[in-house]
Amino acid sequence: MRNSSRSSVDPFIVMDVMEAARKAEEGGRHIIHMEVGQPSTGAPAGALRALGNALENNALGYTVALGLPELRKRIAQLYGDWYNVDLNPERVIVTPGSSGAFLLSFTALFDSGDRVGIGAPGYPSYRQILKALGLTPVDIQTAPENRLQPVAADLKGQKLAGLMVASPANPTGTMLDRAAMGSLINAAQAEGASFISDEIYHGLEYEAKAVTALELTDECYVINSFSKFFSMTGWRVGWMVVPEDHVRVVERIAQNMFICAPHASQVAALAALDCEDEMRENLAVYARNRQLMLEGLPKAGFTKIAPPDGAFYVYADVSDLTDDSRSFAAEVLEKAGVAVTPGLDFDPVRGATTLRFSYARSTADIEEGLARLALYMASRD
Ligand SMILES: Cc1ncc(COP(=O)(O)O)c(C=O)c1O
């Protein structure tokens, strides 16, 4: 049987790193994981309690496609609490993770062949999902002086049907401030491009508060998730906010693609929204880890790093050390016992000379990882 040409998407290189790390561990080695992009903590205690109750009292069948009404309402309230934005709960759609929201939004907004701008470096699945849907991802090569984020001038003449941004971003952790976000929204609207804002790392910010696109316009899709701040990656639950006149369009697609997000996860997510104190404790760990990274990475020799405003990543330009980040990462794993992600996942062009370090694990792990990196780098001199 033949495969479609749109199914020929690239693998996630970080998965190969994880597999190599697993094999090393199987062989008895102790590996520090700076490759994984997820919290090592589980879902908040309140979420687990709520699910425990639901397991006893609720058949947990399908929910309506747009999600549990009380969850949509509570998510809308979050926009009031976090950003002072008055959001109509009818505009909130619960999704199977933000990954499910990408499928829904790209399907709802674009026609086959449409060109959609994404920042490079950026989260790899944007490109692969766009390709798998028969759309054309357009890499926007971002500049260090723009915090490795797209700027308005990048859209000129690109004939984009859409622009996808992320703030804080993966792999860089950099953010768009209000002025930068506003100017991108204006530029996208001027070009007739739909604006999609991936806000999955909101809540994980260290210097300034992240700006939601909804503070600036209602004419956008905002995507978020319980995976990162709420520490619920495996639960596969997220949400998106769409303009009022798009709700029914997305609802019809969601009914057919997914029926609904997992009911059990929606119950847990509703309770997680009232567990902010526990989430803030996790955030304090990331803040401490980030400080250690900012001190330790340059000392080890990784001096060219993007300003890590949020999320739990540091993205380093290692062009003075290698032009093959994949084999460099393999060497770091083998010689230092630290798993890191080569930049090629995030930027097919310049990623050969970049690495992403994640600091989502425990502080003890980060300290040990930094010590190993310093030792290894010293041994190369
Ligand atoms: C920027 C970004 N968006 C989306 C996702 C996918 O998240 P979810 O678990 O909500 O599908 C990730 C995962 O790492 C990410 O880094």
DSSP string, 172-238: T-----HHHHHHHHHHHHHHT-EEEEE-TTTT-BSSSPPPPGGGT-SSSEEEEESSSTT--GGG--E
Angle (nearest 5°) at CA 231 between 49 and 244 = 95
Q: Is the CB of 166 under 6 A from ligand 1?
A: yes
Distance in Å, CA 127 to ligand 1 centroid: 13
State the pLDDT at residue 16: 86
52 closest CA partner among 287, 337, 268, 335? 268
- 41 C-beta neighbours (distance < 10 Å), count: 16
Distance in Å, CA 379 to ligand 1 centroid: 36
State the pLDDT at residue 10: 87
Q: Is the backbone peptide bond immediately before 121 cis, with ω within 30 degrees of 0?
A: yes
200 closest CA partner among 259, 263, 126? 126
CA 33 – CA 31 distance, rounded (Å): 6
Contacts (Cβ under 8 Å, ≥6 apart) of 117: 138, 140, 150, 154, 155, 158, 160, 162, 163, 164, 193
State the pLDDT at residue 250: 98
Q: Is the backbone peptide bond immediately before 342 cis, with ω within 30 degrees of 0?
A: no
State the pLDDT at residue 36: 86
CA distances from 132 to 11, 106, 187 (A): 13, 11, 27
Distance in Å, CA 367 to ligand 1 centroid: 26
Is the CA virtual torsion 78, 83, 89, 95 positive or negative?
A: negative
DSSP assignment letter at 119:
E
Distance in Å, CA 374 to ligand 1 centroid: 30
Cross-strand partners of 240: 93, 223
Q: Is the CB of 123 under 6 A from ligand 1?
A: yes
Q: Is the CB of 261 under 6 A from ligand 1?
A: no
Cross-strand partners of 195: 163
Atom of ligand 1 nearest to the CA of 225: 10
Half-sphere exposure for 171 (CA within 13 Å, toward CB):
27
Cross-strand partners of 94: 239
| Residue 102, phi then psi, degrees to nearest 5 | -65, -45
259's torsion region: left (phi>0), alpha (psi -120 to 50) or beta?
left
Angle (nearest 5°) at CA 185 between 273 and 151 = 110
Tens digits of pLDDT across the chain (381 residues): 999 999 999 888 888 889 999 999 999 999 999 998 899 899 999 999 999 999 999 999 999 999 999 999 999 999 999 999 999 999 999 999 999 999 999 999 999 999 999 999 999 999 999 999 999 999 999 999 999 999 999 999 999 999 999 999 999 999 999 999 999 999 999 999 999 999 999 999 999 999 999 999 999 999 999 999 999 999 999 999 999 999 999 999 999 999 999 999 999 999 999 999 999 999 999 999 999 999 999 999 999 998 899 999 999 999 999 999 999 999 999 999 999 999 999 999 999 999 999 999 999 999 999 999 999 999 987
Give buried/exposed letters for 248-265 (b at 16+ CB in 10 A, else e): eebbebbeeebebbbbbb
Distance in Å, CA 43 to ligand 1 centroid: 16
- 129 C-beta neighbours (distance < 10 Å), count: 20
Length of the chain: 381
Q: Is the CB of 170 under 6 A from ligand 1?
A: yes
The helix (H) or strand (E) run that includes residue 357 is strand 354-358
CA 306 – CA 315 distance, rounded (Å): 6
State the pLDDT at residue 14: 84
CA distances from 316 to 1, 113, 340 (A): 43, 34, 11
CA 19 – CA 25 distance, rounded (Å): 10
